[in-house]
Amino acid sequence: MDFRPKIVAFLCNWCAYTGADLAGTSRIHYAPNIRIIRIMCSGRIEPTFILKAFQQGADGVLVCGCHPGDCHYQEGNYKCLRRFKLLQKFTRQMGIEKDRLRLEWISASEGKQFAELVNDMTKTLLSMGPSKVKSSLEVEHLNV
Amino acid sequence: MSVRVHPELRNQLMQFGIGDWNACYHCGTCTAMCPLSEEGFLFPRKKIRLMQMGLKNEIESSVEPWLCYYCGDCTSTCPRDANPGELMMSLRRYLTSIYDWTGLSKKFYTSEVWEIGSILLIAVLVVIAFLIGLPAMGYSFTTELTSQGGVKINSFAPIHIIEAFDWAMAIVVGGLLISNILRMYYKIIWKHGHTKVTFWVHVREFWRLVFNFSVQPKFGKCDDKRYWFSHWFLMSGYTIMFIVVVVFLPWFQTEKILPPWHLQRALGYYATFGLLFGLLVAITGRMRRKDVKFYFSHVSDWLFLVMLTLTVITGILIHIFRIYGMPYATYIFYIIHMAVLVPMILIEVPFSKWSHLAYRPFAVYFQHLKTHAVPRKTKINSIN
Amino acid sequence: MEEPRIGVYVCWCGTNISKMVDVEAVTNEVKALPNVTIAKNYKYMCSDPGQDLIIKDIKLHNLNRVVVAACSPRIHELTFRTACEKAGINPYLFEMANVREQDSWVHTDRTEATNKAIDLVVAAIRRVRYHEPLQKRFVNVNPATLIIGGGISGLTAALEIANAGKQVYLVEKSDQLGGQVKKFDLTFPHLSSAQQMIRPIVQRVDNHPNISVFLETEIREVTGYIGNFKTAISVNGGDPVELEFGNIIAAVGLKPFNPEVISEYNYKEFPDVITSFEFEEKLLAGRILTVYGKEPRNVAIIHCVGSRNKKYHEYCSRVCCMAALKYVHQVRAALPSANIFEIYADMRAYGKGHEEFYALTTHRQIMFLMYDQQKKLPVINQADRSDNCNMIIEMDELLSGQSIEVPVDMVILMVNMEAQENVKQVVRAIGVSLCGNQFFIEKHPKLDPVATTTGGVYIIGTCQGPKDIPDSVAQARAAAARILGAIAQGSVPIEVTTASVNELLCCGCQTCIGVCPYKAISYDENNKVSIVNEILCKGCGTCGSACPAGAIISKHFTDLQILSEIEGVMSMS
Amino acid sequence: MRSPSKTCIFFYNPQFSDFDPIDYAELIRYSMTFPNVSRIWKYHDFIWNEQNLTDKIEANGIDHLIVAGLLPGTVKTLFSKAMAIAGKDPANVILASFNDYYTGTTFDMDRLKSVLACLIAGLSYETVAIPDENPVNPATLVIGGGIAGIQASLEIAYSNNHVYLVEKTGTIGGKMATFDKTFPTLDCAACILTPKMVEVNQNPFINLMTYCEVQEVSGEAGNYSVRILMRARKVNVKTCIGCGTCTEKCPAQAPSEFDYGTSMRKAIYMPFPQAVPNKYMIDAESCIYLKTGKCRACVKVCPVPDCINLDEQDHEVTINVGNIIVATGFKPFDAKKMDQFGYGRLPNVLTSLEFERLLNASGPTGGNIHLRSQDKKGNWIFTEEAEKPEKVAIIHCVGSRDKNHNKYCSRVCCMYSLKFSHLILEKLPGAEIHEYFIDMRSFGKGYEEFYERILEEDVSIVRGKTAKVEERNGKLFLRGEDILKGEILENTVDMVILSIGLEAAEETRDLSRMLGIPRSEDGFFEEVHYNLDPTATSRGGIYLAGTCQGPKDIPDSVAQGSAAAARAIQSILKGKIYKDLISIPLETIEKRINKLTLVQLEEKHL
């Protein structure tokens, strides 16, 4: 069967999630490959969440927060950015390609931009093919 | 090198009818509005600025006021009611008084008593000259008509005397005007220590003087073309009349009644129509006060219009009475005609409103001289 | 904790969801899942019958968890939570799956959309299993209020609150009330008397039964949190008095900038170069005289002294332009024949009636001169005898493009307004922060200009940024409104989904303390663990993700909940 | 200093003030009756220069001088100087600024007399003139659902008191909701506003009445009864699920009010996606059924039974409230009035508000800047197919600071114009932008810093306003004077944005009549005291918030919104509210003065 990438997206409640809702209310269509998880602030996101998503078989993980300066909690998005940069180094070590993990800023009025973002990411993932993480983990299980 | 500001200058300027020019907050709308203000010669705003700051020399050395034909667009769009158009007008009055070395101009502009008084005085002198002067000189007029039934006007106004007087007047007025224009030249071109204009440029640019005098292309650039026409029509009429009367009087003031298509009469009619038309536009305009151009009227504006109108009407009447052989009427109106004409020429041309017919084209000429000015040798700089 | 019994409800939303999502399929798909007691779908879950359906089921099947798959939680989460509450289960034991805005409305392939819906619902089910009941919490508000600063804003706020019958403690650093306004003769743009305005206010404050004024007093330290603050003040050296109050208003104002640092102006060098505040003193004394006891024939007023210039202060002081125009009228009245020069950069007549005032001023025989406050300041020099004036200002005039000399006998410098010396101390005491210009930072520059990120602490007047009297007064009332509101309620709600520390796991590394934007976490020296002050916590969860030991639980967004949600969305692939 | 002995009153009534509605003769007669008034001077009595004044003060031994009239402050300094020279205390020069007590149409003579009486007694009018109190109805009416109204409503609701929020249009949010980014922080308006809007909708203490208008107000402070017209929305707000099926099917179109006509909406529509209430409504003007009696497409497709009722009629309700907060906001200046800029004639001359929509991600072009172009039908619209402008000009002060239109400064235009420059560069990198300004008024917190930032960006900011915009072979030609360079600046651009000013909204006229609150000559509501009470009116229990009192930016509007609420909450807490300030009769004032002065005398003796 043809490859349908799955994207797990973590959206902050105040900007990105609202933006995603706006995409809905203004009926902007985008690829159905995304699964949105709501958190209060991008600053809440832990590396574990992202790794868990990959481990569960996600082909891509998307993190969206408020634009710099717009954070509802002053600077959560900056903290997120810092952690993200570190995590990226690590995930690449793990053999997870750079483009599988993205951090983007989406404001509450950027429904359109959000839709475009999802489509774009889906496209890249399609070209990259499925993520190896899950399968490799399963293999290890067999060895044990 | 920095110049000193002179707050007190405002009081002088006020006397020339300058309104509420401190209201200007320098948005630049007027300059942008004005189709005549061009690179290097920006107005009205810049001139308003000079007045606000009382920079006397800069004002006196500027040609811009003469480049403005007062279409009134600036005033109608001014957000602060600073009335730039009238300001330029007032500046022209001020400059006229500055150019005039006799100091009379200032008197005429700033005191109505002086202006009207001197006009009346001259008028009276003219009347006396006709009623007492000529008879005393042994001239006696006849009431009998020519073979064509026209009035023997030359018996009343002996042609050579009038002609001589005309020439005298022309010379006096011309002299004054020329001397003032020289002062104007001095203030605008010569005084500028650090630049000079070569003789060749003076020659090369001279055509502009003639061109601008006869066609007034600048006025043509204004958005409302009607005023250019009426103004030009009037001006041309006036000039023709002036030349004919001063230079060719014997040819013009004849007892023989020539056919209407004869050049003499044709010219006369053209001039008369030109004058009447221009006057009509101006007077109705100033009375209706609809156009900004005509909204504000200084005494000098009205005086000039009234006198010129009188001159024209009396002129027409003289013509009619002469042709239809009414000696007394002719003679009486001849006197009135002269009594209005002479003061008008003597006062208005060198000292007052009418002087702009000379200053305007010269200003354009000087403007172009300025644009071709070259920096002087350093030694002169060191003097300043 | 008892075994989860989950009720799942999928909404059709008319055709909005059902058109693109096979609602029946979703329902059937999740029926069988563990802990799912019952799964239904209905045309409009949000409608009253829809809600009744839930309530009935909860009672009937004694459900203890509810999942609704419908529109965005931003629209109806509250609705369904209330429904749960009605049915007697804790509202936080509910979870919503957004299958309209984020599914049916944005997709075109029915099967895909249905699969997605299933994923989302499953995720919600997995998540809700780990939900815990949370209680709404309030803190009582002490009806007394502390106001720091006895300027016009402080006084206004004090009266506003006191007139509502509530206690106010007004603390003023100097020995008198009235602040800067007390130093002014007139106010712009109506040129009404500042003295006549401020005197009765000070009087009213002094005599107000609900206001206790402490002069020559400074606030050193404030303890506590919103609704319950404490401080000890010592009135002019006497033994400290203990004050308790529920809210704090900081109205410490600003002070004039000292122009000595600007070499061009030779302030202090030339005795007749004075600041606007010194000029106000002259006005109040009734005579405008130079040091030689003569009346100045030429007066220059220079704008933006210390303002709008990176070398001094980059910001605009907002009031100087109008104050300067005010001086024009005052000088003109006293010295009818004097020359007045207004040397400005941009004329900022932005307020109500200001532009009209500016227009009026132009009729008072005055010369406006424009300079570049960034690149080239005017220079004030001693004049020669020949100049017959005391000083000469040399400047480049922008509107004429001329470099000019201005003769002057007196120069008034419109000095910038800058932070008080003790601002840092106040800030530390009340726990708010300063911006680069040493102004207090508001909670939100637009929608919350008077509140701060510290609950119960408000900033009003010029300490938040330069302001004229009306704007300061408006802010004072704004803060008063907040405080009166809180007092009226008697208590203020505080965030439910806060963070809390599992002391057994906490290693005392204090990483969390650094990341908290609300200073809500402190370190308990005795037990060597971090403690979250759940009153200050806003529940962003940043600490939770920072904690290396996983000791911090961010309620309603616990690791367990989120991780199982992740498993949920991926479960079907 | 108190209860002064030898007082002199100078009546400053210069004739040059274009209208003199004050009966000075009457005031003079009145002030004669006070024993401690030893002298009265009128403007024309003598040449009141320094010399004369000093002499007269000395001669008459005057130690207390009241200058009474319109803007007496303009001459005050001369009098304090004279006092000082005469060896008296210049602080004893007291101003009776009648202009502070102007009630919009006329001067209430009794009020002016009271003011004089107080000052003659050495008291301030404000301390004496404290109105009696009424019991207060705890409910509050807020008129206008813009940011100021929202703020005020929330403040009051937070204090657990009931609020009726009456909004003229179908949604709250006001002008702010239409903006894209807000200066100077550039955070998006929707992100910060929509949560507040939702809060309003969900707060149990707020009764949100959209598409309603105030018809009549009666009663007095503490107990106003207000008749409100509830326009027929023709869609049941309770049952509508905001699905939008109706809109898809609706055949009728009309220009969208929310997009300022830059896009079309259906006859049944939701003002904008995040509208609150998030429900649909029918515009009777454009609805085909209501015009022809045929169609009913929406009713047919609506999934909710009898949610849409096309025959619903307007009806009225009457509510009783104790306080009223007016927050009706502003209306944009009609740029057509300035024909020289060609707005309305030239398709790519835009107003700033239209451009806000163009920038907005939820606007007609999805937040991309495109030129206005003609569709097949030939009407000018914005589409994403159209070309993007390469050169843009922004003209400041359109309709503001202009005697031919609005004298006042609109306070926000400079900043939002700078914001535009920044956003244009962000969206169209390399675009050429020209800003024409007169004075740059970046006065607020962080504004100057923003201005500096824009100056460093690649924008030409020119001091000097352009005069006119002309069409020259398809492009827009502007001519202006670059004042600082001292040269003519000619530009051909693709798009011109007019930074239009703010004007008082239409309804201010009717409201000022209904509520009996004055308007200043520029049409905005007049506050009771410029400095001390910018949000109160001369009527008790009626307050102003936001731009209906004068142009304002968002933070100042919000502050005023809260400030207005303060008074309402205060009165509710007290259970009492002050009556109208002007209601106090002269006799009462006089009585109080006597009492107060007595008290002071006693104080002296103690």
Asked if D96 and D72 touch (Cβ cutoff 8 Å), the reply is yes
In CATH, the architecture of A7-141 is 3-Layer(aba) Sandwich (3.40)
The letter for the amino acid at A1 is M
- Looking at the structure, do residues B276 and B242 belong to the same domain, yes or no? yes
Site of tokens 């009306």: C470
Site of tokens 């907005």: D360
Chains near B (3 or more Cβ pairs under 8 Å): C, D
Please, which residues 462-501 of chain C have a Cβ atom closer than 8 Å to chain A? 497
pTM of the model: 0.87
CA nearest C442: which of D546, D200, D556, D186? D556
CB-nearest to D481 from B32, B77, B80 is B32
A81 near D CB under 8 A: no
HEC profile of D410-421: CCCHHHHHHHHH
Asked if D465 and D498 touch (Cβ cutoff 8 Å), the reply is no
pLDDT tens for residues B14-56? Answer: 888 777 778 999 999 999 999 898 888 999 999 999 999 999 9
Q: Are C517 and A73 inside 8 Å of each other by CB?
A: yes
- Exposed e or buried b per residue across B319-347, where buried means at least 16 C-beta atoms within 10 angstroms of its C-beta: bebbbebbbebbbbbbbbbbbbbbbbbbb
φ/ψ of D113, rounded to 5, equals: -60, -45
B49 near C CB under 8 A: yes
What pLDDT is attached to residue B220? 82
Q: Are B3 and C394 inside 8 Å of each other by CB?
A: no
C570 near A CB under 8 A: yes
DSSP D373: E
pLDDT tens for residues C104-148? Answer: 999 999 999 999 999 999 999 999 999 999 998 899 999 999 999
Domain C6-134 identical in fold to domain C257-416: no
Could you give the CA distance from residue D362 to residue D339 in angstroms, rounded to a whole number? 31
Tokens of B148: 């064509």
Given pLDDT bands bounded at 50, 70 and 90, which one contains residue D304?
confident
A81 near C CB under 8 A: no
Query: Taking the C-alpha atoms of C127, C132, C136 and C139 in order, what is their torsion angle to the nearest 10 degrees?
Result: -120
Please, which residues 77-136 of chain B have a Cβ atom closer than 8 Å to chain C? 80
Domain D132-231+314-329+505-583 identical in fold to domain D331-503: yes
Mean pLDDT of all residues belonging to chain D: 91
In CATH, the architecture of C145-253+420-492 is 3-Layer(bba) Sandwich (3.50)
Chain B to chain C, count of Cβ pairs less than 8 Å apart? 61
Is the pLDDT confidence value at D17 over 70? Answer: no
C230 near A CB under 8 A: no
Asked if D181 and D593 touch (Cβ cutoff 8 Å), the reply is no
Could you give the CA distance from residue C333 to residue D80 in angstroms, rounded to a whole number? 10
Site of tokens 């905005």: D524
Which residues, 6 or more positions from B280, have their beta carbon under 8 angstroms from its beta carbon? none
Mean pLDDT, range A66-95, rounded to an integer: 88
Q: How far is C280 from chain B (nearest CA, A)?
A: 25
Whether residue D184 is preceded by a cis peptide bond, meaning omega within 30 degrees of 0, is yes
Q: Are C405 and B55 inside 8 Å of each other by CB?
A: no
DSSP C215-267: -S-----EEEETTEEEEEE-GGGSS-EEEEESEEEE---EEE--GGG-GGGTB
In angstroms, what CA-CA distances link D601 with C38, D121, D604, D605?
Answer: 84, 12, 5, 6
Instruction: Please give the residue range of the domain that contains residue B224.
Output: 104-371
Given pLDDT bands bounded at 50, 70 and 90, which one contains residue D252?
very high
Q: Are D560 and C474 inside 8 Å of each other by CB?
A: yes
CATH topology for C257-416 is: FAD/NAD(P)-binding domain (3.50.50)
In angstroms, what CA-CA distances link A6 with A28, C205, C474, C508?
Answer: 20, 67, 53, 39
Is the pLDDT confidence value at A144 over 50? Answer: no
Residue spans of the domains in chain D: they are 7-129+584-605, 132-231+314-329+505-583, 232-312, 331-503
- Looking at the structure, do residues B59 and B129 belong to the same domain, yes or no? no
In CATH, the architecture of D132-231+314-329+505-583 is 3-Layer(bba) Sandwich (3.50)
Is A107 in a helix, a strand, or coil? coil
Is the pLDDT confidence value at D555 over 90? Answer: yes
Pairing state between β D187-188 and D181-182: antiparallel
What pLDDT is attached to residue D1? 38
Could you give the CA distance from residue A75 to residue B131 in angstroms, rounded to a whole number? 103
- Looking at the structure, do residues B92 and B112 belong to the same domain, yes or no? no
Count Cβ atoms below 10 Å from residue B251 Cβ, excluding itself.
Answer: 10
Residues in C touching D452 (Cβ below 8 Å): 310, 314
Q: Which residue of A has its CA nearest to C111?
A: A32
Asked if D562 and C482 touch (Cβ cutoff 8 Å), the reply is yes
Q: Which of D409, D450, D462, D552 to mutate to test the interface with C (most CBs of C within 10 A)?
A: D409
Which residues, 6 or more positions from C153, have their beta carbon under 8 angstroms from its beta carbon? C179, C251, C253, C460, C461, C462, C472, C473, C475, C476
CATH number of D7-129+584-605: 3.40.50
Given pLDDT bands bounded at 50, 70 and 90, which one contains residue A143?
low
The letter for the amino acid at B369 is L
Tokens of C254: 């600003």
Count Cβ atoms below 10 Å from residue C460 Cβ, excluding itself.
Answer: 34
ipTM of the complex as predicted = 0.88
Q: Which of D407, D532, D578 to mutate to test the interface with C (most CBs of C within 10 A)?
A: D532
pLDDT tens for residues D24-46? Answer: 889 999 999 998 898 999 888 87
In angstroms, what CA-CA distances link A32 with A35, C107, C111, D466, D535?
Answer: 8, 6, 10, 52, 52
Could you give the CA distance from residue B86 to residue D18 in angstroms, rounded to a whole number? 23
CA nearest C417: which of C301, C254, C304, C267? C254
DSSP D276-314: SS---EE-TTT-HHHHHS---HHHHH-SSTT-B-TT---
In CATH, the architecture of C6-134 is 3-Layer(aba) Sandwich (3.40)
Is the pLDDT confidence value at A69 over 90? Answer: no
Q: Which of C513-522, D102-111, D590-599 has the highest mean pLDDT?
A: C513-522
pLDDT tens for residues D512-533? Answer: 999 999 898 889 999 999 999 9
Q: Which residue of C has its CA nearest to B10?
A: C365
Is D346 in a helix, a strand, or coil? strand
Tokens of D225: 């009864």
The rounded Cα B294 to chain-centroid distance in angstroms is 17
Could you give the CA distance from residue D536 to residue D564 in angstroms, rounded to a whole number? 7
Name the stretches of chain C with pLDDT < 70.
Answer: 1, 237, 573
Site of tokens 């000052």: D119
Is the pLDDT confidence value at D606 over 50? Answer: no
Q: Are D570 and C464 inside 8 Å of each other by CB?
A: no
Q: Are C481 and D71 inside 8 Å of each other by CB?
A: no
Mean pLDDT, range D198-219, rounded to an integer: 93
Could you give the CA distance from residue B70 to residue C266 in angstroms, rounded to a whole number? 47
Strands, E, within chain B: which ranges? 3-4, 195-196, 374-375
Could you give the CA distance from residue A66 to residue A103 in angstroms, rounded to a whole number? 11
Q: Are D303 and C14 inside 8 Å of each other by CB?
A: yes
User: Selecting from 3.30.1050.10, 3.30.70.20, 1.10.101.10, 3.40.50.300, what CATH number does the domain C499-555 have?
Assistant: 3.30.70.20
Chains near D (3 or more Cβ pairs under 8 Å): A, B, C
Residues in C touching A36 (Cβ below 8 Å): 98, 102, 120
What pLDDT is attached to residue B380? 45
Q: How far is D187 from chain A (nearest CA, A)?
A: 6
Q: Which of B39-43, D188-192, D228-232 has the highest mean pLDDT?
A: D228-232
Inside any domain, residue B169 = yes
Residue spans of the domains in chain A: they are 7-141
Chain A to chain D, count of Cβ pairs less than 8 Å apart? 48
Which residues, 6 or more positions from C410, have their beta carbon under 8 angstroms from its beta carbon? C272, C273, C274, C288, C290, C296, C298, C299, C300, C390
- Above pLDDT 70, what percent of chain D? 96
Asked if C179 and C460 touch (Cβ cutoff 8 Å), the reply is no
Is the pLDDT confidence value at D105 over 70? Answer: no
In angstroms, what CA-CA distances link D433 with A98, D351, D376, D477?
Answer: 38, 16, 31, 14
A69 near D CB under 8 A: yes
Q: Which residue of C has its CA nearest to D97?
A: C192
What pLDDT is attached to residue C116? 95
Chains A and C touch (3+ CB pairs under 8 A): yes
Query: Taking the C-alpha atoms of C8, C13, C18 and C24 in order, what is their torsion angle to the nearest 10 degrees?
Result: 30
Asked if C12 and C6 touch (Cβ cutoff 8 Å), the reply is no
Could you give the CA distance from residue D511 to residue C48 in angstroms, rounded to a whole number? 39
- Looking at the structure, do residues B228 and B330 belong to the same domain, yes or no? yes
What pLDDT is attached to residue B154? 86
Q: Which residue of A has its CA nearest to D179?
A: A109
CATH number of D331-503: 3.50.50.60
Which residues, 6 or more positions from D265, have their beta carbon under 8 angstroms from its beta carbon? D253, D254, D255, D256, D257, D258, D259
HSE-up of residue D325 (Cα within 13 Å, Cβ side): 39
Asked if D396 and D437 touch (Cβ cutoff 8 Å), the reply is yes
What pLDDT is attached to residue C76? 83
Could you give the CA distance from residue C473 to residue C456 in angstroms, rounded to a whole number? 19
Q: Are A24 and C112 inside 8 Å of each other by CB?
A: no
Could you give the CA distance from residue C51 to residue C84 in angstroms, rounded to a whole number? 9
| Residue C403 bridge partners (DSSP) | C396
Name the stretches of chain B with pLDDT < 50.
Answer: 380-384
Residues in D touching C450 (Cβ below 8 Å): 559, 562
- Looking at the structure, do residues B70 and B132 belong to the same domain, yes or no? no
CA nearest B264: which of B282, B244, B278? B244
A18 near C CB under 8 A: yes
B52 near C CB under 8 A: yes
pLDDT tens for residues B197-238? Answer: 888 888 888 888 888 888 888 888 887 788 888 889 999 999
Domain count across chain B: 2
CB-nearest to D488 from B25, B42, B81 is B42
Q: Are B33 and D439 inside 8 Å of each other by CB?
A: no
HEC profile of B114-149: HHHHHHHHHHHHHHHHHHHHHHHCCCCCCCCECCCC
Count Cβ atoms below 10 Å from residue C510 Cβ, excluding itself.
Answer: 14
Q: C-alpha angle D202/D207/D211, rounded to 5°?
A: 105
C105 near A CB under 8 A: yes
Could you give the CA distance from residue B7 to residue C342 in angstroms, rounded to a whole number? 12
Q: Which residue of D has its CA nearest to B81?
A: D403
Q: Are D488 and B39 inside 8 Å of each other by CB?
A: yes
Q: Are C400 and B53 inside 8 Å of each other by CB?
A: yes
Is the pLDDT confidence value at D302 over 80? Answer: yes
Q: How far is A144 from chain C (nearest CA, A)?
A: 23
Q: How far is B196 from chain D (nearest CA, A)?
A: 23
Inside any domain, residue B383 = no
Q: Are A22 and D195 inside 8 Å of each other by CB?
A: no
Q: Which residue of A has its CA nearest to C550?
A: A46
